[in-house]
Chain A
Amino acid sequence: MTPVAVFIADDETPARNRLRTLLEDIIDTVPTNVVGEARNGLEVLEQLPGSGARVLLLDIAMPGMDGLEVARHLARLPQAPAVIFITAHDRHAVEAFEVHALDFLMKPVRATRLAEALQRAAVAAPTPTATLAGAAAQAGAAPRGHFSLTERNRILLVPVADVLYLRAEQKYVTLRTHEREHLVDESLVALEREFAERFVRIHRNCLVARAAVRGFERSTGEGNEEAHWEVLLEGVPERLPVSRRQWAAVRAEVKSKPARD
């Protein structure tokens, strides 16, 4: 049997050491070799794609980016690893994992449980992003801090805070930052739900970051176009049309526009 390539992610050194010890203990039942270790979520996203890892042992509570978000970004990789979540105590996450049939271990981890989980993971198909998103929502996780795109076998992160607006175009959603545009394949409806705090819907196909709104202007409309309101943005020249249906809601937002964060 070829050893399973395992990647370990936990912010606490003793916890990583403990997992290594346990993997040694069960090496006769489940042959493994550790191909990498990371101390926080961002490190996992940087280092795992090139490591050839087949299974990721992933702590949920990590600084920088929590385990649930890490898993959602990794799931976009062409060769996504199977993820085994590890948690010390997070009732909500545990419930969410059970509902969505995701594998998880409780700290302190037992060798027998680890062996079982590894055997299942070695033959499992990668978990789809939608399932992970569902679990994250159910666990009451905070919205993601980043959007992600995969470029060949790498993950490119775009901080949500940098995004000015999101516009749906056919199959993709365009993210506009000050510098450039990115395409992500997520649904605008799901994004609206996840980031309700940050973005407001101004049109059937468009969400705008509240903090990026500079003001509104009435467009008289050209040709056979109707007169409508447009959103002016900080730092970029585009003007985004506000649909008549959304105008009342958007205007109410402006009146109570919070201070920029």
Chain B
Amino acid sequence: MDTVALPDFRNLGVIARVLVAVNALAFAAVLAAGPDLGGSLDRFVRVAVSLEPVLLANVVVLVLLSPLLRRLPYAWGALCVLALVLLCTGLVHAGLGAVQLDGVIPRGRAHVLLLAALMTGGLLGYFHLFARAHSPALAQARLQALQSRIRPHFLFNSLNAVLSLVRSDPRRAERALQDLADLFRTLMSDAGRLARLADEIVLLERYASIEQLRLGERLRITWALDAAPDDAAMPPLVLQPLLENAVYHGVEPATGPADILVEVELRGTRLRVRIENPHWPDHVPHAGNRMALENIRERLTLFFDAEAHIETRIERGRYCTLIEMPYRPVAPEKTA
């Protein structure tokens, strides 16, 4: 259970949630206290003048200290966050008092600190629940189920292809079985760990070589991986299902050869993945396709919150899947 960590205060999603939550609470408090809406809006603006500097200062402090805080055990980390918030709030409050915004900050210091402590506690509680709901314990089972969703169609066709080689080309058959074993090992492994991009790419190549065996010259894959950083961290098995979809929907319905593009590149601090396959409008897409995409979206959200996104579009007769996520080198100490 104790893999729950403090939220990553450098994550845009976390920052946005903190800002929205605190302001919404302030607004609710003002609404509850005031007699009419017009007066409340006016009062909220005045409260905001004193609230925002405190809030922003707190956010900046947490963003700066986030890596240090996250290294602590959860309970200590939470206490430190609380202490930091109180200290920071106290200082800013005193500073604002010094510039004499009288009447705008009608409350005493103890009053303000108590409010800050309550809000911090509430938000930490919320992030704790959020992390629990999305990660290990609860989501584990579901992730596992989603992850082991390789198409049975693929397994049986591959075995059939390997069988066809056993007598004529035993070495090729051996290699194909090893590739299959690697693929299934990953499929059945722990869904919660982070993977290195380099390992994900090896897996893609294993998968591709099995498909190549079965589809021969019908499958043509262009790999554009020169600008792919080997050490990028990402949820495991994000790329393989996308390539599997590309083969299933782009190559198998084609009577002739079909081209797939796999491109992974680092642009600034963003990792971009692009997978393209021919689009066949008459081919009835299976519900499986949407499910795979939803599954990947969910896992990206779990690892990167609002900073990753995935979209699909049709460009010049080709079906494109695009993923963007922050580039985070795999940190040696992070083995959650």
Which A residues contact B (CB, under 8 angstroms)? 11-15, 17-18, 21, 39-40, 42, 61, 63-64, 88-90, 106-109, 142, 145
Are the CB atoms of A107 and B156 closer together than 8 Å? yes
Are the CB atoms of A18 and B160 closer together than 8 Å? yes
Q: Does B215 contact A (CB under 8 A)?
A: yes
Q: How far is the CA of A134 from the CA of B213 in the complex (A)?
A: 35
Q: A15-B161, A145-B282 are in contact. Are A88 and B254 (CB under 8 A)?
A: no
Q: How far is the CA of A12 from the CA of B218 in the complex (A)?
A: 9
Q: A89-B152, A107-B156 are in contact. Are A42 and B161 (CB under 8 A)?
A: no
Q: Does B334 contact A (CB under 8 A)?
A: no
Main secondary structure of the interface of B (DSSP, over half): helix
Are the CB atoms of B165 and A14 closer together than 8 Å? yes
Cβ contacts under 8 Å, B254 to chain A: 63
Contact of A15 (CB < 8 Å), options: B152, B160, B282: B160
Are the CB atoms of B252 and A14 closer together than 8 Å? no
Are the CB atoms of B255 and A14 closer together than 8 Å? no
Q: A14-B165, A142-B284 are in contact. Are A107 and B157 (CB under 8 A)?
A: yes
| Inter-chain CB contacts under 8 Å: number | 61
Q: A89-B152, A108-B156, A142-B284 are in contact. Are A12 and B255 (CB under 8 A)?
A: no
Are the CB atoms of B161 and A12 closer together than 8 Å? yes
Q: How far is the CA of A89 from the CA of B152 in the complex (A)?
A: 6
**29 A-B contacts (beta carbon < 8 Å):** A12-B160, A12-B214, A12-B215, A12-B216, A13-B216, A14-B160, A14-B164, A14-B213, A15-B157, A15-B160, A15-B161, A17-B168, A18-B163, A40-B255, A42-B255, A63-B252, A63-B254, A88-B152, A88-B156, A88-B157, A88-B160, A89-B153, A89-B155, A90-B153, A107-B156, A107-B160, A108-B159, A142-B284, A145-B282
Cβ contacts under 8 Å, B167 to chain A: 21
Cβ distance B326 to chain A, nearest Cβ, rounded Å: 38
Cβ distance A21 to chain B, nearest Cβ, rounded Å: 7
| Binary per-residue interface labels of chain B (124-165) against chain A in the complex, 1 for a CB within 8 Å, 0 otherwise | 000000000000000000000000000111011101110111
Q: Does B77 contact A (CB under 8 A)?
A: no
Cβ contacts under 8 Å, B282 to chain A: 145
Q: How far is the CA of A64 from the CA of B216 in the complex (A)?
A: 18
Are the CB atoms of A61 and B252 closer together than 8 Å? yes
Cβ distance B157 to chain A, nearest Cβ, rounded Å: 5
Contact of B253 (CB < 8 Å), options: A17, A39, A42, A63: A63
Cβ contacts under 8 Å, A61 to chain B: 153, 252
Cβ contacts under 8 Å, A13 to chain B: 216
Are the CB atoms of A21 and B164 closer together than 8 Å? yes
Cβ distance B218 to chain A, nearest Cβ, rounded Å: 8
Contact of B214 (CB < 8 Å), options: A14, A42, A63: A14
Cβ contacts under 8 Å, A12 to chain B: 157, 160-161, 214-216
Cβ contacts under 8 Å, A18 to chain B: 160-161, 163-164
Q: How far is the CA of A40 from the CA of B215 in the complex (A)?
A: 13
Cβ contacts under 8 Å, B152 to chain A: 88-89
Q: A39-B255, A63-B252 are in contact. Are A15 and B156 (CB under 8 A)?
A: no
Q: Which A-B residue pairs are the 8 nearest by beta carbons?
A: A18-B164, A14-B164, A88-B156, A14-B161, A89-B152, A108-B160, A107-B160, A64-B255
Q: How far is the CA of A39 from the CA of B159 in the complex (A)?
A: 19
Cβ contacts under 8 Å, A40 to chain B: 255
Cβ distance A2 to chain B, nearest Cβ, rounded Å: 28
Q: How far is the CA of A61 from the CA of B251 in the complex (A)?
A: 12
Contact of B164 (CB < 8 Å), options: A17, A39, A89, A106: A17
